[in-house]
Structure 1
Amino acid sequence: MDIRQLQYFAEVAKQRSFTRAAEVLHVSQPSISKMIKSLETELGVILLDRSERKIELTDAGQLVFEHAQRVLQAMGDLTSSLEELRQVERGFVRLGLLPTVGAFLLPAAIASFKKHYPQIELEMREYSARPLEAQVERGHIDIGLTVLPVDEERFEAIALRAEDLVAIVYPEHWLYGRESINLQELSEESFVLFTEEYAMHDVVRQACLQAGFEPKVAYMSSLWDFVGEMVAAQIGISLVPRSVAQRLNKGRLHVVTLSWPPIDWTYALICRKDRYLSHAARAFIGFVREHVIG
């Protein structure tokens, strides 16, 4: 059995036609027929039901087709890897990121990366946490910049930097002037939360549940700045990463450290575990780790 036999058979199986397969592969139809017949003889099974006008796979053919696809994918990955070894500075990386996280962590690292690898093209798109994971899972983006935790069975995660969550309150609030607070003390407060598709929503809710209460939701938003404005307008209080709190309107907001439970907010790059990762993507991950983690 050789790779061409599997290639020819897989294309016929996909096209359900010798004629269309021959057109795709740019070979003659008799050559394909001969190659598949040779494969059937070697395996001792019939792979294609040729009795009808449209070709169908036999049970054995379906099994061989599934395995052939994996073999051909592996061969394609090998070819790509070897090509990249010959052209190590070329490539294309599709990067997905959480909007505020990306603005906080990556601009300087990306600028430096482009200077070191001017021929590696970066395509960047913004997603909230759950859609970002779905895009990585489907292979639509190569690397995602998100926050932990993620499903470790599906994704490889490279932790970059952690920070704590803090409470933000308005000047007239009873917490104004306090340096720290136990989360249990906020059980009667109204919260301005992020919408459900954002990881922050689940992190804050789980922390409140751990502290013994379900947070009362006054308002939900998908925008950091709007959350800050809603707190300043006395709609409620909120929990946000410290780096975000420092960027909001300091004259109208006060930051209070959470003494218990400490809530970690860890930024990470993720990629799919079972998917080939290009040299360009690996170079980007290594570069960001060096420049962000230090």
Structure 2
Amino acid sequence: MDIRQLQYFAEVAKQRSFTRAAEVLHVSQPSISKMIKSLETELGVVLLDRSERKIELTDAGHLVYEHAQRILQLVGDLTSSVEELLQVERGFIRLGLLPTVGAFLLPAAIARFKQRYPQIELEMREYSAKPLEVQVEQGHIDIGLTVLPVNEERFEAIPLRAEELVAIVYPGHELFGRESVNLTDLRDESFVLFTEEYAMHDVVRQACLQAGFEPKVAYMSSLWDFVGEMVAARMGISLVPRSVAERLHRGKLHIVPLSWPPIDWTYALICRKDRYLSHAARAFIGFVRDHVVP
């Protein structure tokens, strides 16, 4: 049994005429007759009473017609749904975000995306950088917003925006009011760092090592606001992206740009290279890439 058999039979049942059904379907009348005969043979019943001038359905014909209508409707709905999917009219995207970063980088772009694609659902979850990569690799999320670098053998990365890291210091610190500072001048400072699962931890530590010293860690935290409060409480200094520093400033801290070496902090969307990515997810990546202002 195939869809054409049901389609031809349903149209004949609806029109009560082979001739009118052939006109509607744009096929020859013998083709319809042959297809319905094969359906009757396959089912082992007579579907149409052809003895009178006007075709009538048999009891079996009424039953098959009822089911055929439902099946054809489902097939039509399936075809429409697939077409909508291919045209990115609907879909579901699981998105992983770095805490704080997603809050300032994506809301406006996501709002415009939802206006453009109202039937695409977005599920958003927060992870620190390393667990986020694991979630993308294991297929639990489709797209991750993280920072570079990432493993280019496993992930496709779409850079969005880069910004500098800056030092934040408390009022009264000798660097307070300075226009810039060399990273090597911070060798004797105590640092408030992010915990090891954060990419920031590795970036700051690696930058300090390249500048010739191991940073002295006073405290570590997984919370951006807590890092800022610890610096404001004179427990140490920290290095953070400028956008984060400006959010943490609130009159308690001073931002000191690094004159050397400049430390880039590049945000990117990542997805797994060897994994199928839905049309909705690809549309989201392209939309965010075009709407997140560098």
The normalised TM-score by structure 2 is 0.71
2:173 maps to 1:173:
yes
| Residue matched to 1:208 | 208
The amino acid of 1:160's aligned partner reads L
Q: For 1:235-290, what per-residue CA distance to the aligned partner results, in whole angstroms no more than 9, with x for missing partners? A: 00000000011111332111100011100000000000011100000000011011
The normalised TM-score by structure 1 is 0.71
| Residue matched to 1:263 | 263
| Residue matched to 1:47 | none
The amino acid of 1:145's aligned partner reads L
2:287 maps to 1:287:
yes
Unaligned runs of 5+ in 1: 1-78
Superposed counterparts of 1:59-74, under 5 Å: none
The amino acid of 2:90's aligned partner reads R
Superposed counterparts of 1:36-75, under 5 Å: none
Contact 1:178–1:256 at 8 Å: present in 2 too?
yes
Q: Distance in 1 between matches of 2:96 and 2:135?
A: 8
Give the secondary-structure state (helix, strand or coil) at the position aligned to 1:206. helix
Give the secondary-structure state (helix, strand or coil) at the position aligned to 1:161. strand
Give the secondary-structure state (helix, strand or coil) at the position aligned to 1:196. coil
Q: Distance in 2 between matches of 1:161 and 1:90?
A: 28
Give the secondary-structure state (helix, strand or coil) at the position aligned to 1:200. helix
Give the secondary-structure state (helix, strand or coil) at the position aligned to 1:192. strand
Q: Distance in 2 between matches of 1:289 and 1:154?
A: 20
Q: Distance in 2 between matches of 1:119 and 1:157?
A: 26
| Residue matched to 2:17 | none
| Residue matched to 2:137 | 137
Alignment RMSD (CA, Å): 1.6
User: By how many angstroms is 1:84 displaced?
Assistant: 6.0
User: By how many angstroms is 1:88 displaced?
Assistant: 2.7
The amino acid of 1:130's aligned partner reads K
Give the secondary-structure state (helix, strand or coil) at the position aligned to 1:99. coil
Q: Distance in 1 between matches of 2:169 and 2:145?
A: 29
User: By how many angstroms is 1:293 displaced?
Assistant: 4.0
Q: Distance in 2 between matches of 1:250 and 1:85?
A: 46
Q: For 1:128-159, what per-residue CA distance to the aligned partner results, in whole angstroms no more than 9, with x for missing partners? A: 00110000000110000000000000000000
Percentage of pairs with the same residue? 86
Superposed counterparts of 1:95-106, under 5 Å: 95-106=95-106
Call closer, same or farther: CA 1:173–1:93 in 2, change over 3 Å: same
Q: Distance in 1 between matches of 2:249 and 2:207?
A: 25
Contact 2:85–2:280 at 8 Å: present in 1 too?
no
Contact 2:97–2:125 at 8 Å: present in 1 too?
yes
| Residue matched to 1:223 | 223
The amino acid of 1:208's aligned partner reads C
Contact 1:198–1:222 at 8 Å: present in 2 too?
yes
Give the secondary-structure state (helix, strand or coil) at the position aligned to 1:152. coil
Unaligned runs of 5+ in 2: 1-78
The amino acid of 2:144's aligned partner reads G
Contact 1:84–1:279 at 8 Å: present in 2 too?
no
Contact 1:192–1:236 at 8 Å: present in 2 too?
yes
Q: For 1:14-58, what per-residue CA distance to the aligned partner results, in whole angstroms no more than 9, with x for missing partners? A: xxxxxxxxxxxxxxxxxxxxxxxxxxxxxxxxxxxxxxxxxxxxx
Q: Distance in 1 between matches of 2:283 and 2:113?
A: 9
Q: Distance in 1 between matches of 2:234 and 2:176?
A: 12
| Residue matched to 1:275 | 275
The amino acid of 2:275's aligned partner reads R
Q: Distance in 2 between matches of 1:287 and 1:143?
A: 13
Q: For 1:184-219, what per-residue CA distance to the aligned partner results, in whole angstroms no more than 9, with x for missing partners? A: 000000000000000000000000001000000000
The amino acid of 1:281's aligned partner reads A
Call closer, same or farther: CA 1:137–1:84 in 2, change over 3 Å: farther
Matched residues, number: 215
Contact 2:85–2:91 at 8 Å: present in 1 too?
no
Call closer, same or farther: CA 1:200–1:228 in 2, change over 3 Å: same
Q: For 1:149-178, what per-residue CA distance to the aligned partner results, in whole angstroms no more than 9, with x for missing partners? A: 000000000000000000000111110110
Give the secondary-structure state (helix, strand or coil) at the position aligned to 2:173. coil
